[in-house]
Amino acid sequence: MPELPEVETVRRALDRRVRGRVITAYRVGRPAFNRPIPTRALSRLKGSRIESVERRGKYLILRLSRGWDLVCHLGMSGSISFDSVEENHVRFRFTAGGRIVKMHDPRRFGRVGCALPKLGPEPLSAGFNADYLLGALRGRSAAVKACLLDQAVVAGVGNIYATEALYHAGIRPQRRAGAVSRAEAARLCVEVKQVLRRAIRMGGTTLQDQAFKDPEGRPGRFSLRTAVYGRKLGACGHELKATNRPISGRTSLYCPVCQR
Ligand SMILES: [Zn+2]
């Protein structure tokens, strides 16, 4: 699933290419997304100017003139491309400033025109700090990784970056969230920020199970730098283990030596 760095990569490309442009046409693909685009959202689209392209967690927000926002989520495997890419699985497209923007979504879990849910702080903001995280984890019996994946705790972190941040912080993903110390929460905050910043600089992560490409068709380069995710040996050189039980539906890799 595209996580914060991939969505941010898309946001930057869109902002560069369509900000200030007026939407002159749109088309909804067949079959459309699992959840249809509200007609109310579509009716306002044509003739609106894209004032800016913003991001909140894993959501893209097109701020439109007339005080209207179009909120999009790429779902499990969605992507956005400019006009050159083939037509398969295009669920939604629009034209702005003569440029065609297409949203592909083979699994149809993406959404356009949805409302923003209640989200936790942006991980790269000052609001995501040791005090906040310690408070969010306190008393919780869930695995610490499950809490990091909870979008109401922190917005935009998914499987890849939670796995990486926990490794760098030396905390096992299955550890009970309430048992994370203040020092560990502080370290985890720093590592979450660092891993996300690094991934944004690399244009996101592209792996076999996450075939991310930016709107210009370029793959992310962060996969070359993961320390645990998708590896057999950790960056530390130790053999990695998978958690016995799945966390939020998936087993998670960790280093049994370096993570406690
Ligand atoms: Zn290790």
Identify the CATH number of the domain in which residue 19 sits. 3.20.190.10
Percent of residues, the chain, with pLDDT higher than 90:
83
Task: Give residue-wise pLDDT tens across range 77-86.
Answer: 899 999 766 6
Nearest residue to 70 (alpha-carbon basis) of 91, 100, 46, 90: 46
Q: What is the structure's pLDDT at 209? A: 62
| Domain final residue, candidates 64, 86, 112 | 112
SS3 category, 59: strand
b/e sequence 190-200, b meaning 16+ C-beta within 10 Å: ebbbebbeebb
Say yes or no: 141 and 243 in one domain. yes
CA of 185 to the centre of ligand 1 (A): 20
Of 22-31, 41-50, 135-144, 219-228, minimum mean pLDDT range: 219-228
Say yes or no: 185 and 108 in one domain. no
Q: What is the pTM of this model?
A: 0.95
Rounded Cα–Cα distance for residues 136 and 72 (Å): 27
| Domain final residue, candidates 112, 142, 177 | 112
Say yes or no: 31 and 85 in one domain. yes
Of 40-44, 157-161, 206-210, minimum mean pLDDT range: 206-210
The answer to whether residue 8 is domain-embedded is yes
The answer to whether residue 41 is domain-embedded is yes
Q: Structure tokens of 204?
A: 């996101």
90-96 vs 99-104, strand pairing mode: antiparallel
Residue matched to tokens 């998708």: 230
Percent of residues, the chain, with pLDDT higher than 70:
98
Rounded Cα–Cα distance for residues 82 and 65 (Å): 22
Given a cut of 80, whether residue 224 has pLDDT beyond it is no
Say yes or no: 179 and 242 in one domain. yes
CA of 138 to the centre of ligand 1 (A): 27
Q: What is the mean pLDDT of the chain?
A: 94
The better pLDDT of the pair 83, 196 is held by: 196
Say yes or no: 141 and 189 in one domain. yes
Given a cut of 90, whether residue 236 has pLDDT beyond it is yes
Q: Is 3 a catalytic residue?
A: yes
The answer to whether residue 201 is domain-embedded is yes
CA of 210 to the centre of ligand 1 (A): 25
Say yes or no: 145 and 249 in one domain. yes
Rounded Cα–Cα distance for residues 217 and 85 (Å): 8
Q: One of 2, 5, 121, 123 is an active-site residue; which one?
A: 2
Q: What is the structure's pLDDT at 208? A: 63
The answer to whether residue 125 is domain-embedded is no
**Overall average pLDDT of the 225-244 stretch:** 95
Task: Give residue-wise pLDDT tens across range 15-37.
Answer: 999 999 999 999 999 889 999 99
The answer to whether residue 117 is domain-embedded is no
Say yes or no: 157 and 246 in one domain. yes
Which of 38-47, 50-59, 104-113 has the largest mean confidence?
50-59
Q: Is 58 a catalytic residue?
A: yes
Q: Which amino acid is at 234?
A: G
CA of 35 to the centre of ligand 1 (A): 43
Residue matched to tokens 């898309």: 10
Q: One of 107, 197, 250, 260 is an active-site residue; which one?
A: 250
Q: What is the structure's pLDDT at 141? A: 97
Q: What is the structure's pLDDT at 84? A: 67
| Domain final residue, candidates 52, 80, 112 | 112
Residue 197: give the domain boundaries. Answer: 130-254
**Overall average pLDDT of the 70-90 stretch:** 87
Say yes or no: 67 and 162 in one domain. no
Q: Is 122 a catalytic residue?
A: no
Q: What is the structure's pLDDT at 86? A: 67
CA of 205 to the centre of ligand 1 (A): 22
Say yes or no: 144 and 207 in one domain. yes
Give how many domains the chain has, as a whole number: 2
**Overall average pLDDT of the 179-201 stretch:** 97
Q: What is the structure's pLDDT at 85? A: 63
Say yes or no: 105 and 134 in one domain. no
Q: One of 58, 93, 108, 172 is an active-site residue; which one?
A: 58
For the domain that residue 214 is a member of, what is the CATH number?
1.10.8.50
CA of 227 to the centre of ligand 1 (A): 10
Say yes or no: 135 and 226 in one domain. yes
HSE of 88 in the Cβ direction (CA atoms, 13 Å)? 2
Given a cut of 80, whether residue 211 has pLDDT beyond it is no
**Overall average pLDDT of the 204-229 stretch:** 83
CA of 253 to the centre of ligand 1 (A): 11
Given a cut of 80, whether residue 166 has pLDDT beyond it is yes
**225 falls in which pLDDT band (50, 70, 90)?**
confident
Say yes or no: 190 and 242 in one domain. yes
CA of 162 to the centre of ligand 1 (A): 17
Nearest residue to 27 (alpha-carbon basis) of 102, 81, 124, 88: 102
**Overall average pLDDT of the 146-167 stretch:** 97
Determine the angle formed by the axes of helices 182-201 and 159-169, rounding to 10 degrees.
130
Nearest residue to 165 (alpha-carbon basis) of 174, 153, 157, 175: 157
CA distances from 50 to 5, 10, 58, 161 (A): 22, 15, 19, 30
